[in-house]
A and B are shown apart, each in its own frame.
Chain A
């Protein structure tokens, strides 16, 4: 409903009686000092003005309100309309623009050859996207040697290229040349299964990395050695270990208390670190997204000046955390396929040495230790 706001300087009772007596509708009546304000229907505004004038009442018609009036006044704001249209045009332009390419599925073929195809097709970023481009591009990428399929699509402002490579050529495997099974790790043999060949170790033997576990021959009844490929599985208790030293004093970068704040706008979500006058520093960055559609953000970077300072290191205070972290690192340093299904246990020893603490972490694992390796010359 279109409404008009009036501000009247007269006693409230008089104004309300006068206007309601004439049948006018008054709403949102507010009293401020000696004045009252109210809203009236727009089609009654002229009659209200006439009525107030006749009664010699001072009033101000403050403005028109409502959807229609608002729309009309908005249409008169050319600057706003031009800005709004420009904004819409920019959003449309952004949504139709591709700012970079993400290539997935490449292992053998180099990414630069796909980029070269994009360049040859005249696609330099930022690039206005067209559906025809995507179809044509897939065909051109498939023409590259080593690629069997390519699909090109646009995801947001990125060109997404999914590539399937041709299977690499594999030479036929030699399964006949006699080779030994050797130890990949040092340990104590816990289990040995010989499928083919002559085992040179038994359960309980200590082996070093590189020792031959199963030799690539068998003895014939007449005592001659017949060369063949050694095949088998050998398991051993292996002790993975690491030794770390923690000095009692350490040099650490500590904040001096001086800070420097730099604020910058960022449009394309690029990593940006402004320059600082500090030589040694650490920093914190806070990003505030301004608009949801356009990737326009404000980055506030706070630099903290730091200086090197010798500080005491209390190993015992942080021991639990260090041991847990280093044990996890030690376990994860062992290839996953060796750990899967294998029994393992860990322990540590912390010992004081000169002005430092020596931490030794052990990981005992009953694991597969063998690998098949060709000896320099076939055994005869």
Chain B
């Protein structure tokens, strides 16, 4: 079982609703990994906005950079000070 699926089970969330959903991970406030994105809405050193299926993720901080991207994953580095989900 994958790390994410295992986490979903431990949180007691309905498993079927979260398969194929988005996941956002922060690493010590210095890097972020986003899975299940639907594109990049805007990029600046202070804020990166990532489109998800229904919402957006606002990652704010300093010196933010997208270092790698593919169809489902985005890797971001920089000093991350906040994350906000919303429309």
Contacts and interface: CB of A to CB of B under 8 A. Distances in A.
B69 interface: yes
Interface stretch (B6-14, B38-46, B79-87): B38-46
Interface in A1-29: 11-13, 16-17, 19-29
B25 to A, nearest CB: 18
A83 B49 CA distance: 54
Nearest to A17: B39
A31 interface: yes
Contacts of A11: 43
Contacts of B65: 29-31
A22 B38 CA distance: 11
Contacts of A13: 39-43, 49
Contact of A29 (B39, B49, B68, B71): B68
Interface string B60-87: 0000011111110010000000000000
A31 B43 contact: yes
B39 A27 contact: no
B37 to A, nearest CB: 8
Contacts of A25: 68-70
A106 B49 CA distance: 87
B43 A16 contact: yes
A169 to B, nearest CB: 88
Nearest to A21: B39
Contact of A20 (B42, B49, B67, B69): B69
A27 B71 CA distance: 12
A16 B40 contact: yes
A12 B69 contact: no
A18 B71 CA distance: 10
A23 B70 contact: yes
Given A12-B43, A13-B43, A31-B43, A23 B71 contact: yes
Given A12-B43, A13-B41, A27 B66 contact: no
A21 B42 contact: no
A31 B67 CA distance: 10
B9 to A, nearest CB: 29
Contact of A27 (B41, B49, B68): B68
Contacts of B49: 13
Nearest to A30: B65
Contact of B69 (A16, A30, A31): A16
A17 B70 CA distance: 9
Nearest to A23: B71
A27 B43 CA distance: 16
A151 B59 CA distance: 80
Nearest to A27: B68
Contacts of A12: 40, 43, 66
A24 B70 contact: yes
A55 to B, nearest CB: 14
